[in-house]
Chain A
């Protein structure tokens, strides 16, 4: 029998905090991080709210002793990985076969778009440091270099499910005894490129988003990073590390319905959730909390809600979309939400879905409205779906 992967460390940075403690405090206090754009210029500045990490590149870079010219995606990623490694309590990663798998959708676009503006005026004068880390894989290279990780390196871009798939691949590599430790998750920075892209699709809400509310108008973009230190049983034993949770199930499917829209019945999301449960050997009634994908768009929440109800029937577990706090952090969302999901098991808490006031007509269940503590949480499901039909579900279980 294959061994499973355990979560031994967590790291997160988002619009609601620079570390896990700050994030949990904001979740507890119903304090969203959605607000006006302050860190870059755009004509949408006072019209489209976003979930910005309230730390400038200069501050991030100086706290990490890195050049301020580095792309924000890498700075956010390195910041979160640092917390994840520290919290794992493993003093020397390099003793083990250690890999990094990171999800991102924009890569170094925050700098590339600045480069390109100059390039369009004068092709040879644009500074190369602004474009050299454009590729998604370069972000992971920068993280790997910072922490001297060399045994395995991979970047996944399956749009909004990228980092859920990173956790999946990391778990598979540990289960197959190819690696002992994997740092898995993802990072994405806010950019004009994505803001304008989602705006051109007319799926951005001009107010703070209302996931799973009948009157929802769209999503808010966010930024951040979330990583888990995944380890094998052998690492747990030898490093005397206390596991936070076990990665009990995962599944990746494709909706194959439309490039950007989900099928009305959520066939991809349904089969991802169902297969993840099967792999974990769990019944739907075993799940104590679902961290929904819940972007706040008409299409996602309807499709996901219907799929959840098809799978869980009358007994839909406690469920919420924490994107109502952080905004949609794209390639980072699966990592950030996996961190929240594991913290839910650890701290016996479940999180609210902010700004829910009107029941959706297509479904009977309602998301959680308030923070709850002292809840026995043994099994959590985390959903991540994306453009291109990509659907991934993960389950985490208490050890």
Chain B
């Protein structure tokens, strides 16, 4: 597959949007969730339009705008968004009012904006994009599925510029409900020590990351060389086998991976598998990212933003580093992520 990243933008719990440096200023969160730092939308979204937009729509419109701008693309040839939970604020709003009012006199706006394809649809509307348009919603593969589709489309149309992103939002109610499933820490913790103090549960997160992807490598920030999803593996050895096969399919030895970026979440239930993967790469620099983003189904899109920055700037910021190899130039970045043990994915980025 030949998929090149031409531009990108992230709105995350860190100042990744307005601040153009690579994670130079870090936000601390205490509790069990990390919330996105929203930019001032002035000059990005029409102020009348923004009043009707929930957070997930606002951050998607802003991030997609900036990614297009960075790539120098006016109208993309297609838009593909991954979101597992979709527009929860609007869904909750309509549901609550429907129950409260006993199904009488309901305002349609939250219903209209409750469908998962609202982001792809809104962006198409605002960018006047009549091209391909889709939305994937498969838990921890929601963003990965977008990449699979994008690679198929670009294989047939290498000249296309596709806007591809991953986004999920936290709302108060969803966080409360998900808390009951024991996903997150019961005790307050600082995100900055989350990975150093492993325990059961992690911290909830949210964010939006869009990329402009093309089959044409001119002025590319990085290449997405390959992607693999491993669904509900029977055991850790299945993941390791798939990983080794993935490397050999890409003609790489573990020693050629300069940076391994893993989705460690500080949750002891999944440490074992991360450790086994990390042990295959003793010579690589090891970076973590979830203490900066929190855990959410499309966090791998944020990881792809981190990995691309590492390649573009040839940098491994201290805040991400668990172990530095001392290699001076970064050529291959491998992302291994697992979402609560069910969804495992590998994304290989290359300079």
List A residues at the B interface (Cβ < 8 Å).
42-44, 105, 112-113, 116-117, 119-120, 123-124, 128, 131-132, 135-138, 140-141, 144, 150-159, 165, 169, 172-173, 176, 178, 192-193, 196-201, 252-260, 267-268, 271, 386-390
Q: How far is the CA of A105 from the CA of B137 in the complex (A)?
A: 10
A-B contact pairs, 28 of them (CB 8 A): A43-B104, A112-B95, A137-B141, A138-B139, A140-B138, A150-B232, A152-B229, A153-B138, A153-B141, A154-B141, A157-B116, A157-B117, A157-B137, A158-B117, A169-B152, A196-B94, A196-B106, A198-B111, A200-B106, A252-B133, A254-B133, A259-B125, A267-B130, A387-B115, A388-B115, A388-B118, A388-B133, A389-B133
Contacts of A123 in B (CB 8 A): 176
Using CB atoms, name the residue of chain A closest to B113.
Answer: A259
State which of B11-19, B78-86, B191-199 sits at the interface with chain A.
B78-86
Q: How far is the CA of A257 from the CA of B129 in the complex (A)?
A: 10
Using CB atoms, name the residue of chain B closest to A263.
Answer: B130
Q: How far is the CA of A192 from the CA of B117 in the complex (A)?
A: 20
**Contact partner, B135, options A156, A198, A257, Cβ 8 Å:** A156
Q: Judging by beta carbons under 8 Å apart, are A253 and B103 in contact?
A: no
The answer to whether the Cβ of B102 comes within 8 Å of any Cβ in the partner chain is yes
Contacts of A140 in B (CB 8 A): 138
The answer to whether the Cβ of B145 comes within 8 Å of any Cβ in the partner chain is yes
**Contact partner, A137, options B120, B130, B137, Cβ 8 Å:** B137
Q: How far is the CA of A155 from the CA of B134 in the complex (A)?
A: 11
Contacts of B129 in A (CB 8 A): 254, 256
Shortest Cβ distance from B281 into chain A, in angstroms? 26
Q: How far is the CA of A165 from the CA of B116 in the complex (A)?
A: 14
Given contacts A158-B135, A256-B128, A387 and B117 within 8 Å (CB-CB):
yes
Contacts of A131 in B (CB 8 A): 177
Q: Judging by beta carbons under 8 Å apart, are B117 and A154 in contact?
A: no
Shortest Cβ distance from B143 into chain A, in angstroms? 12
Q: How far is the CA of A158 from the CA of B104 in the complex (A)?
A: 27
Q: How far is the CA of A153 from the CA of B107 in the complex (A)?
A: 35
Q: Which size class do B's interface residues fall under?
A: 35 or more
Given contacts A172-B152, A390-B133, A258 and B125 within 8 Å (CB-CB):
yes
Q: Judging by beta carbons under 8 Å apart, are B99 and A116 in contact?
A: yes
Contacts of A268 in B (CB 8 A): 130
Q: How far is the CA of A377 from the CA of B94 in the complex (A)?
A: 44
Shortest Cβ distance from A134 into chain B, in angstroms? 9
Contacts of A153 in B (CB 8 A): 138, 141, 229, 231
Q: Judging by beta carbons under 8 Å apart, are B137 and A150 in contact?
A: no
Q: How far is the CA of A387 from the CA of B98 in the complex (A)?
A: 21
Q: How far is the CA of A253 from the CA of B132 in the complex (A)?
A: 5
**Contact partner, B115, options A135, A157, A192, A255, Cβ 8 Å:** A157
Q: Judging by beta carbons under 8 Å apart, are B121 and A388 in contact?
A: yes
Q: Judging by beta carbons under 8 Å apart, are B86 and A196 in contact?
A: no
Given contacts A119-B177, A256-B128, A271-B130, A200 and B118 within 8 Å (CB-CB):
no
Contacts of B108 in A (CB 8 A): 197, 200-201
The answer to whether the Cβ of B112 comes within 8 Å of any Cβ in the partner chain is yes
Q: How far is the CA of A390 from the CA of B119 in the complex (A)?
A: 12
| Central interface residue in A132, A152, A201, A389, by most chain B CB within 10 Å | A389
Q: Judging by beta carbons under 8 Å apart, are B180 and A128 in contact?
A: yes
The answer to whether the Cβ of B167 comes within 8 Å of any Cβ in the partner chain is no
Q: Judging by beta carbons under 8 Å apart, are B130 and A196 in contact?
A: no
Considering only residues 121-156 of chain B, those with a C-beta below 8 Å from chain A are 121-122, 124-125, 127-139, 141-142, 145, 148-149, 152, 155
**Contact partner, A387, options B121, B152, B180, Cβ 8 Å:** B121
| Central interface residue in B120, B121, B127, B342, by most chain A CB within 10 Å | B121
Q: How far is the CA of A52 from the CA of B229 in the complex (A)?
A: 37
Using CB atoms, name the residue of chain A closest to B102.
Answer: A43
Q: Judging by beta carbons under 8 Å apart, are B134 and A197 in contact?
A: no
Contacts of B152 in A (CB 8 A): 169, 172-173, 176
Q: Judging by beta carbons under 8 Å apart, are B116 and A193 in contact?
A: no
Using CB atoms, name the residue of chain B closest to A268.
Answer: B130
Q: How far is the CA of A252 from the CA of B95 in the complex (A)?
A: 31
**Contact partner, A156, options B85, B137, B173, Cβ 8 Å:** B137
Contacts of A257 in B (CB 8 A): 125
Q: How far is the CA of A176 from the CA of B152 in the complex (A)?
A: 8
Q: Judging by beta carbons under 8 Å apart, are A116 and B95 in contact?
A: yes
Q: How far is the CA of A388 from the CA of B133 in the complex (A)?
A: 9
Q: Judging by beta carbons under 8 Å apart, are A253 and B117 in contact?
A: no
Q: How far is the CA of A144 from the CA of B342 in the complex (A)?
A: 13
The answer to whether the Cβ of B60 comes within 8 Å of any Cβ in the partner chain is no
Q: How far is the CA of A44 from the CA of B136 in the complex (A)?
A: 32
Q: Which 3 A-B pairs have the closest CB atoms?
A: A388-B121, A197-B111, A157-B116
Q: How far is the CA of A288 from the CA of B231 in the complex (A)?
A: 41
The answer to whether the Cβ of B65 comes within 8 Å of any Cβ in the partner chain is no
| Central interface residue in A43, A157, A201, by most chain B CB within 10 Å | A157
Given contacts A154-B141, A155-B138, A196 and B96 within 8 Å (CB-CB):
no
Contacts of A201 in B (CB 8 A): 108, 111-112
Contacts of B100 in A (CB 8 A): 120
Given contacts A120-B96, A192-B98, A197-B114, A141 and B155 within 8 Å (CB-CB):
no
Given contacts A155-B137, A254-B133, A389-B133, A259 and B94 within 8 Å (CB-CB):
no
Q: Judging by beta carbons under 8 Å apart, are A176 and B138 in contact?
A: no
Q: Judging by beta carbons under 8 Å apart, are B131 and A388 in contact?
A: no
**Contact partner, B138, options A119, A150, A154, Cβ 8 Å:** A154
Q: Judging by beta carbons under 8 Å apart, are B106 and A256 in contact?
A: no
Q: Judging by beta carbons under 8 Å apart, are A193 and B133 in contact?
A: no
Q: Judging by beta carbons under 8 Å apart, are A165 and B125 in contact?
A: no
Considering only residues 144-186 of chain B, those with a C-beta below 8 Å from chain A are 145, 148-149, 152, 155, 173, 176-177, 180-181
Contacts of A165 in B (CB 8 A): 134
Q: How far is the CA of A258 from the CA of B125 in the complex (A)?
A: 7
Using CB atoms, name the residue of chain B closest to A387.
Answer: B115
Contacts of A200 in B (CB 8 A): 106-108, 111
**Contact partner, A255, options B85, B118, B130, Cβ 8 Å:** B130
